[in-house]
């Protein structure tokens, strides 16, 4: 395999697109698009640009939901990743439906087949990586659409339809 050295400012090599939903300090439901995440057991880590509305609200309200988007939601992903909650209610703008979670003080997105209910455990910011805020959170509950579960209640992997985000700093896209 012949290779070429590249000097990109970033390389996102295919990360699942998630929609983060929360009630802001005024109690209004809002949502933002994210791709920077990983999870191990009941821990999840998210990466936010420090300036966004969502991260600054979540720092105060603590609870949020990770909603796994599928290919039916490409337009909604773009809307929630383009506008800021500072200026608008993205549930309304993207025509998404908030449903109150029973285990955290945050709304689920009805249209997403998987919802992961979370509460903030820690905020990690480093002077080495200015402008980035990492959210360490505890998973309190998980909901999966019945259509994605087999007779044993486990995930039907073949039925999952996650959207992946790629970005090399110039070329970017969803797949
Ligand atoms: C596909 C996609 C993935 C994104 N991933 C991230 C991400 O991982 N972290 C982040 O801070 N912003 C990410 N964004 C950008 C935010 O969604 C965008 O800046 C949004 O307007 C912030 O909204 P807010 O001010 O309401 O928080 C992504 C956008 C798109 C379209």
Task: State how far the Cα of 110 lies from the Cα of 118, in Å rounded to an integer.
Answer: 16
Q: What is the pLDDT of residue 174?
A: 98
Looking from the CA of residue 82, the nearest atom of ligand 1 is 21
Going from N- to C-terminal start, the domains of the chain cover 12-174
For the Cβ of 33 lying below 6 angstroms from any atom of ligand 1, the answer is yes
Q: Which of 49, 73, 85 to mutate to test the pocket of ligand 1 (most atoms within 8 A of CB)?
A: 49
Contact 163, 3 (CB under 8 A): no
Residue 110 CB burial class (10 angstroms; 0-12, 13-18, ≥19): exposed
CA distance 5 to 151: 48
Going by C-alpha positions, the residue among 48, 32, 37 that lies closest to residue 80 is: 32
Reported confidence tier of residue 167, pLDDT bands at 50, 70, 90: very high
Rounded CA separation 164/74 (Å) = 11
Q: Is 36 in the pocket of ligand 1 (CB under 6 A)?
A: yes
C-alpha distances in Å from residue 80, one per residue of 54, 99, 139, 160: 11, 17, 23, 21
Which architecture, in CATH terms, is 12-174?
Answer: Roll (2.30)
Interval 76-98: pLDDT, tens: 999 999 999 999 999 999 999 99
Is the beta carbon of 49 within 6 A of some atom in ligand 1?
A: yes
Cβ–ligand 1 distance for 37 under 6 Å, the answer no
Of the candidates 123, 174, 136, the residue with the CA atom closest to the CA atom of residue 37:
136
Question: Could you write out the DSSP letters of every residue in 74-112?
Answer: HHHHHHHHHS-TTT--HHHHTT--EEE-SSSSSEEETTS
Q: Residue 1 Cα, ligand 1 centroid: separation in angstroms?
A: 34
| DSSP-assigned letter for residue 151 | T
Across the range 131-151, mean pLDDT stands at 98
Q: Taking residues 23-45, what's their average pLDDT? A: 98
CB of 16 sitting under 6 A from ligand 1: no
**Is 64 a pocket residue for ligand 1 (Cβ < 6 Å)?**
no
Q: What pLDDT does 50 receive?
A: 98
Distance CA(149)–CA(117), nearest Å, equals: 18
pLDDT digits over 5-28, tens only?
Answer: 999 999 999 999 999 999 999 999
Which helix (H) or strand (E) element contains residue 54?
helix 53-61
Average confidence score pLDDT of the chain: 98
């Amino acid at each position: 395999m012949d290779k070429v050295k590249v000097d990109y400012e970033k390389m996102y090599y295919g990360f699942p697109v998630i929609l983060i939903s929360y009630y802001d300090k005024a109690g209004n439901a809002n949502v933002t698009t994210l791709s920077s995440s990983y999870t191990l057991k009941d821990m999840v880590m998210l990466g936010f640009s420090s300036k966004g509305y969502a991260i600054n609200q979540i720092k105060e309200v603590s609870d949020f939901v990770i909603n796994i988007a599928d290919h039916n939601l490409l337009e909604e992903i773009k809307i929630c990743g383009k506008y800021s909650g500072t200026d608008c209610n993205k549930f309304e703008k993207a025509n998404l439906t908030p449903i109150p979670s029973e285990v955290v003080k945050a709304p689920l997105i009805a249209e997403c087949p998987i919802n992961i209910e979370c509460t903030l455990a820690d905020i990690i910011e480093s002077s080495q990586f200015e402008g980035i805020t990492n959210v360490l959170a505890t998973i309190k509950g998980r909901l999966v659409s019945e259509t994605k579960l087999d007779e044993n209640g486990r995930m039907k992997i073949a039925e999952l339809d996650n959207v992946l985000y790629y970005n090399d700093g110039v070329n970017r896209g969803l797949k």
